[in-house]
A and B are shown apart, each in its own frame.
Chain A
Amino acid sequence: MLRLKRIEICGFGPFADEQILELPAGDGVTVVYGENMRGKTSLLNAIRYGFFGIALSRGSRARRLHTITNRDLAAIGEHEFSVTLAFDYDGDEYELVRACRARTKTPTSDDDYEQDVMLRRGSSPLGPQERDLALLQIFPAEVSRFFLFDGELLQEYEELLFNESPAGHKISEAIERILGVPILKRGRTHLVSLSEEADRQAAKEASKVQSTQALGAALEQATAQKDAHQKEVARLQEQLDRLTSDKSDIEQSMQSMQKYSSILEERDEANSKLEELKNDDKARRADLQRAMGDSWRSLLKEPVRAARKAAELDAQRELDAFVTSLRVKAIDTGHCGTCDQDVPEAVSIRLRATIPPDTIATSLAGGVSAAMARLSALGKFGEADNFGEVRQLWKQIQSIAVEQITLRDRVAELGRALADCDPETLRRTKSSYGEVVEKMGIVKNAILEGTKKVDERDKSIQGIKKKLEASGTLDLKASQLRAKVLRDASEVLAAAVERYKKELRSRVEATASKLFLSMTTEKQDYSRLAIGEGYGLTILHRDGRTEEARSAGAEHVVALALMGALQNNAPLRGPIVMDSPFGRLDDDHTSNVIRTLPEMAGQVLLLVYEAEVGKKRVRDILGGRLLREYQLERISARRTKLAEVKRS
């Protein structure tokens, strides 16, 4: 386990003069209080710089060296700074000194600096290679996020919930690193490589011996074929990795263009709809023109009917008048011109009774014929009634017009929103994404096929080996034994990877749950945390439901629980240094977290500002587990002093 003993800082951030922080031996918490801009983050960065040679700014970007120098010292031309870390590891005492010296009078970039790193184990300084190897073993940079963190780094934990994200993957890999999984993975890879080499060697030797020549040759051939397939699978895997990286880049690009992407999609849809409406409008107008070509007939329907009725009445009237005139003549002449008979008196009297008074004799020739002619002409008129059709079509045309106006407005609005982006780039990005995904599918299938071929070759190889084992010479047996040991060992490690990960996840889950329940204020509602494949943690209620709506504060507490669980279960253990970790937490949660700190790691260095949590509260909560307190005291705007707080 790594245990910090002393931190010396000089010229770094606000620490112009040399400042020393001594961490007590034994498990517990050391607290450093400091107001904003006093140097808490610089203290965290100094530890980071000491171990890894980098300091981070907001957004986890590496800071340039010339921005780290104390401003007061830089103003007088002194640009150097250094950090010394004294620590214990694996029963040995170490001192790590990292110093930065400027090559120029006014450095403006990292190239203007020279960095010296010295690592001493006991009293002996280590050579550069040994030093780098030792540092890699003691504290690998990729796991630093689990030991040195602030509120911003805690937010990155949310990436774990989306394991497909590049950041989520990175964090999962870092967790496996801290838990020791790569040891097994690398071991398996190396054993497989050695085992294959041993197989090839055994095949060569078998082919030298007469009795096993054929088998040896067959084994060599099968091994060569297996190698070829494996190479191909490896090549495809590399291709898949590149494609995965491309996909991730495109996804990131698309994410940043997300809003534009959806705007562009909407605009394209709207334009497409406008085109449709244009065609509809054209079609409706064509129908309207056709209908209006006949509409004069519809307009004349009623006048023609009225005229027809009038004509019918006229014809009837004319006919009646004609009949009356015939009767009058018959009465006057006493003879009927129609049937050419004399009219008896009695009939005359009857006929007279049918004659209306004041009857005037009508011209017989024109009257009925004219009315009938009119009727005939009106009857020939081709009636139509397309009022309904015209009304319907006109309504549709008007509705299309309104929709077109609305859509055009929308398109213009969307066009303005897209002013800052290039739609072509968006479209190309989308189509590239599709292409990459398709290619990935093809490559994945090819990898599956290739792996099958490798397995087939392997089966064939095992069969040949069995035959060889039964018939081989002593030398051959030695080669075969070597190959067998390596093969068996690689199988054990391969199985161990999965089993260990499963066991670890289970242990991490149990510890994280315990820590979480210690820190949460909802102990009645929540039962535990559940860990996923990618080490994302979900909160479970007592009734088994998952907590879907997690607040920022809840994420915070879950992240802290994970940090503590990793510390407790990892082969790699060290101090936790936390910079203002209570940002999103309420008072109760803050108290719970402070109370739980000693359970997260043997050694905890907590950097806080007093408004966040005061000295009295810290002392009351931690009691005897509070080992030492420091205060970052202001000397000037650009200088800070680190002073131990003496308790009465």
Chain B
Amino acid sequence: MDRDRESIGLTPANQRVLADLEERGWFAEGQDVARFCMAFAIRAKVPEGATQGTETRWAAGNFDKTGEIRTLLAALYPNCSTPVRLMEHLVNEGLQMVAARVASDQVGPAELMD
């Protein structure tokens, strides 16, 4: 069994995406952006996976203070044994998807949630 990660990292490209989304002022902080994008990816049924080449951004204990996300991911992805790695993957995938959506359609936060 793979060892799970202890931190959430972003690829260099996704660091820029995160910065861009933060710049828009829709979110109070970067973690809110990340959680939103993670949820966006889950809603889009992104399958279990792992993202390579990430640079650490947040400690998992900080990102998911109550363990609620880990518990949720275990329920949504029952076959996954590395929930933090999954979390990281979903955040990165979500950032890419949201960036593509925002760039192509000039959408705002309300449209992202539709």
Contact = CB atoms under 8 A, between A and B. Distances in A.
B75 interface: yes
B71 interface: yes
Interface stretch (B7-15, B23-31, B53-61): B23-31
Interface in A142-197: none
A374 B78 contact: yes
Interface string A290-306: 10110111111011100
Most buried by A among B28, B75, B113, B114: B75
Contact of A292 (B27, B38, B42, B43): B27
Interface string A361-394: 0000000001001110110111000010011001
A307 interface: yes
B68 A292 contact: no
B72 interface: yes
B110 interface: yes
A404 B21 CA distance: 23
B34 to A, nearest CB: 9
A299 B43 contact: yes
A380 B68 CA distance: 8
B42 A303 contact: yes
B103 interface: no
A296 B39 CA distance: 5
B78 A293 contact: no
Nearest to B26: A292
A398 interface: yes
B72 A293 contact: no
A289 B25 contact: yes
Contacts, number: 82
B6 interface: no
A311 interface: yes
A378 B72 contact: yes
Contact of B76 (A285, A295, A307): A307
A370 B36 CA distance: 28
Contacts of A375: 75
Nearest to A391: B110
Most buried by B among A300, A391, A398: A300
Contacts of B72: 300, 304, 377-378, 381
A280 to B, nearest CB: 15
A398 B108 contact: yes
B61 to A, nearest CB: 18
B105 to A, nearest CB: 14
A505 B42 CA distance: 94
B35 to A, nearest CB: 4
B113 A387 contact: yes
Contacts of A292: 26-28, 32, 36, 109
Nearest to B107: A394
A288 interface: yes
Given A288-B26, A299-B42, A303-B42, A380 B108 contact: no
A389 to B, nearest CB: 10
A293 B28 contact: yes
A567 to B, nearest CB: 79
Contacts of A378: 72, 75-76
A542 interface: no
A183 B78 CA distance: 114
A484 B52 CA distance: 119
B78 A370 contact: yes
Given A295-B36, A303-B43, A382-B68, A289 B28 contact: yes
B74 interface: yes
Interface in A288-347: 288-290, 292-293, 295-300, 302-304, 307, 311
Interface string B59-86: 0000000001001101110100000000
Nearest to A378: B75
Contacts of A296: 32, 35-36, 38-39
A395 interface: yes
Contacts of B26: 288-289, 292
A501 B103 CA distance: 84
A99 to B, nearest CB: 86
Contacts of B27: 289, 292-293
Contacts of A387: 110, 113-114
A304 B75 CA distance: 9
Nearest to B76: A307
Contacts of B32: 289, 292-293, 296
Given A288-B26, A292-B27, A311 B39 contact: no
Contact of A377 (B28, B38, B75, B108): B75
A311 B72 CA distance: 13
A381 B64 CA distance: 13
Nearest to A311: B75
A326 B40 CA distance: 43
Given A285-B25, A299-B36, A390 B75 contact: no
A374 B27 CA distance: 31
Contact of B109 (A307, A377, A394): A394
Contacts of A370: 78
Contacts of B71: 377, 380-381
Nearest to A286: B28
A491 B99 CA distance: 95
B108 to A, nearest CB: 5
A404 to B, nearest CB: 15
Contacts of B110: 387, 390-391, 394-395
Most buried by B among A298, A378, A394, A398: A394
B24 to A, nearest CB: 10
A303 B113 contact: no
Contacts of B78: 370, 374
A277 B38 CA distance: 34
B42 A300 contact: yes
Contact of B108 (A290, A307, A394): A394
A538 to B, nearest CB: 63
Contacts of B36: 292, 295-296, 299
A299 B108 contact: no
A292 to B, nearest CB: 5
Given A298-B113, A299-B42, 11 more contacts: A292-B26, A292-B32, A295-B39, A299-B39, A299-B113, A370-B78, A374-B74, A375-B75, A387-B110, A387-B113, A390-B110
Top 3 A-B pairs, shortest CB-CB distance: A299-B39, A296-B39, A377-B75
20 contacts: A289-B28, A290-B28, A292-B26, A292-B28, A292-B36, A293-B27, A295-B109, A295-B113, A296-B32, A296-B36, A296-B38, A297-B39, A299-B43, A300-B42, A307-B75, A370-B78, A378-B72, A381-B68, A381-B75, A394-B110
